[in-house]
Structure 1
């Protein structure tokens, strides 16, 4: 093991660049998947004819596919079928968003379904519209129950960015492998540092979620 050689200024900067790409992919995919997943979750909860059933099939198909397959499909198959060329990062973000949107949709739907139907009926009978009932009665209560699984899913998303190494996305694990390729003595220190980077970010996400949950109680 060569810690001093592995942690040279050039190697650390190269690893940091990869980590910044990891964070960029994760943040964009988190925002997009939350918006799309929330919309799909509400549609499924509302049981909109045809559209709800269509979303249910789509979600179940995506949830039961490995993320690696989705990454391959988006990067290789979509350009072949559509003729639209995408960059590696764009393909990676789209793949992560597709997969995570399905997961978030189920969390949203489950959280909304966990609210007692009697409260909804009482709200409607008091004159609130369906949208007002969702926004003022259902969502505030459901959010408390949805925060832990959503945060857990976002932590998983950050870790899942490492799978994009298969299409050579220049993220943390990709750059770690390149550094490791220059010397076998770097394998332990480099991957220890990469693990520490993942841990620190995920740990602070968990702390933020805990504080948010405490404020809402």
Structure 2
């Protein structure tokens, strides 16, 4: 695909802390990054025809996309030189995500890994005393606090859904964002929280 100087400018504005530019860049690149993730997952599956039994903790393209953005945000370059530079980093990061996931799966298969912790709460479930108690046991409140320091909007969306039982449309109205942005924020929060809890950060 031809170089897009406008996208490169948006990515660099996002690097500089421009939240509006970050949201516009996310909207422009999300589907293409997701296609990269889906292709990598398909290749990995074809090369490993006997994967472990699938459960809700296995990777999906959406979870891989969110993990890619988490890692790129954790170790960003000083600047993006071009679209090619950015998507090269996306592909490299995607491959590393899949390598790390394969290692975790192998550790679980050997019985040496941490017990997987599903993040499958329905909306409002953490408002219940017994469920909230279980959540405290595996560190979800601490993880939410850490998420809020780095990505406040995603953390607030997760809190509103899981602790207050708000619907996506209600969350969108409260945070003054679109429903599609709300869903992306919730998916990002879930991936971030899963990584935090699984790795015992």
Give the TM-score taking structure 1 as reference length: 0.27
Higher relative contact order (CA 8 A, sep 6+): 1
Looking at secondary structure, tell me which structure has more helix per residue: 1
